[in-house]
C-alpha cells in the first residue's frame, strides 16, 4: 500500500443556500492517475479548487502531502491547470512560461530546462515565440498544461486538460501522464467528460450533485453498475434506464 498524497475528509461546501459538495471523502495515492467524472455542475471544479487551497471547505479538511491545505509552501508541489485557459494573451508563449516559472523556486538553468521540456511535451517548441493572442484554442490549452507542469510538481491537478485537443495530441499527452505517474511517481488528478480517458485512470470517482456515488477502478465501476462500458456507467448512475 503506497502513501496517500491527497486526502479529502468529510468535505462540505455550499455557495449561499446551494450545497455544492456534501461530506466528500477521497484519497489519492502516489503513482496514480485519479479521475473525477460526473455531469456538468456536479462540483468537480469546486473540489479540485479546494485541493489547491484557492477555496476553503465549509466543513472537513484536505491534506496534500501530509500538510493541511491551504498551505502556501505546498503550492510549490502542486501543478494546477484550471478549466479555463488563463494566459496573458499579449505575451508570447515563452514569456508566459517564464513568468509562471519565476513564481516558483527554481534556478535559472533549471527554468530553461523545464521550459524546454514542457514546451516539447505539448509540441509547442516551434511556436514559443508567437503571441498567445494568435494561438488556436487547442494550442492555448496545451500551453496551459505546460504551465501546470513547469515546476515539476509532485501533485498534478488538471481540470479537463484535453478539451479542444485533437485525438493524436491527446494520446501523446496521456502517454506522458502515464509516464509521469510510473517513472516519476507523481499523483495526477484529472477531471474529464471523456470516458475513453476515464478508462485510462487507475481510480475513478463518480461525482453527482456533490456526492461521491461510486469509487473504484474503471473495471470495478463497470461491474458495480453491470455496464458494458464507462459511458453506460455514467448514464446508469444518472438514473437513465437503458
Ligand X SMILES: Nc1ncnc2c1ncn2[C@@H]1O[C@H](COP(=O)(O)OP(=O)(O)OP(=O)(O)O)[C@@H](O)[C@H]1O
Binding interface with Mg ion (CB under 5 A): 44-45, 83
CA–CA dist 28, 25 (Å, integer): 10
Query: Minimal distance in Å, beta carbon 9 to ligand X?
Result: 19
**Which of 51/65 has CB closer to ligand X?**
51
Cβ(49)–Cβ(55) below 8 Å: yes
Contacts with other proteins in 66-105 (CB under 8 A)? 70-73, 75-76, 78, 80, 82, 84-91, 95, 98-100, 102-105
**Which of 37/124 has CB closer to ligand X?**
37
Give the up-direction half-sphere exposure of residue 186: CA atoms within 13 A in the CB hemisphere: 23
Query: Minimal distance in Å, beta carbon 174 to ligand X?
Result: 19
Query: Minimal distance in Å, beta carbon 140 to other proteins?
Result: 11
Query: Minimal distance in Å, beta carbon 62 to other proteins?
Result: 12
Pairing verdict, β 78-81 and 32-37: unpaired
Helix (H, G, I), strand (E, B) or coil at 208: strand
Cβ(192)–Cβ(165) below 8 Å: no
If binding is defined by CB under 8 A, does position 56 make contact with other proteins?
Answer: yes
If binding is defined by CB under 8 A, does position 59 make contact with other proteins?
Answer: no
Instruction: Give me the helices (H) in the chain, please.
Output: 44-52, 93-101, 108-121, 137-149, 167-183, 195-198, 218-225, 230-237
Name the one range near other proteins by CB under 8 A: 16-24, 47-55, 188-196, 213-221: 47-55
Angle between helices 93-101 and 137-149 (to 10 degrees): 20
Pairing verdict, β 211-216 and 203-208: antiparallel
Contacts with ligand X in 33-92 (CB under 6 A)? 38, 40-46, 83
Query: Minimal distance in Å, beta carbon 213 to ligand X?
Result: 13
Binding site residues, other proteins, CB under 8 A: 52-56, 70-73, 75-76, 78, 80, 82, 84-91, 95, 98-100, 102-105, 147
Amino acid at each position: 500500500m503506497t502513501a496517500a498524497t491527497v486526502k479529502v475528509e468529510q468535505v462540505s461546501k455550499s455557495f449561499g443556500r446551494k450545497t455544492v459538495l456534501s461530506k466528500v471523502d477521497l484519497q489519492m495515492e502516489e503513482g496514480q492517475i485519479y479521475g473525477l467524472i460526473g455531469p456538468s455542475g456536479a462540483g468537480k471544479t469546486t473540489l479540485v479548487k479546494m485541493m489547491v487551497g484557492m477555496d476553503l471547505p465549509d466543513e472537513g479538511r484536505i491534506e496534500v502531502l501530509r500538510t493541511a491545505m491551504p498551505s502556501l509552501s505546498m503550492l510549490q508541489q502542486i501543478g494546477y491547470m484550471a478549466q479555463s485557459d488563463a494566459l496573458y494573451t499579449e505575451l508570447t508563449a515563452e514569456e508566459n512560461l517564464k513568468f509562471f516559472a519565476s513564481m516558483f523556486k527554481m534556478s535559472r538553468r533549471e527554468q530553461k530546462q523545464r521550459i524546454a521540456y514542457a514546451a516539447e511535451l505539448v509540441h509547442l517548441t516551434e511556436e514559443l515565440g508567437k503571441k498567445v493572442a494568435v494561438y488556436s484554442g487547442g494550442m492555448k490549452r496545451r500551453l496551459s498544461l505546460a504551465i501546470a507542469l513547469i515546476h515539476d510538481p509532485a501533485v498534478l491537478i488538471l481540470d479537463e486538460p484535453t478539451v479542444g485537443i485533437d485525438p493524436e495530441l491527446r494520446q501523446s499527452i496521456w502517454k506522458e501522464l502515464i509516464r509521469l505517474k510510473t517513472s516519476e511517481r507523481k499523483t495526477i488528478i484529472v477531471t474529464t467528460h471523456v470516458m475513453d480517458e476515464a478508462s485510462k485512470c487507475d481510480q475513478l470517482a463518480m461525482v453527482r450533485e456533490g456526492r461521491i456515488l461510486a469509487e473504484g477502478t474503471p473495471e470495478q465501476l463497470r461491474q458495480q453498475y453491470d455496464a458494458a462500458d464507462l459511458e453506460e456507467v455514467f448514464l446508469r448512475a444518472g438514473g437513465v434506464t437503458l
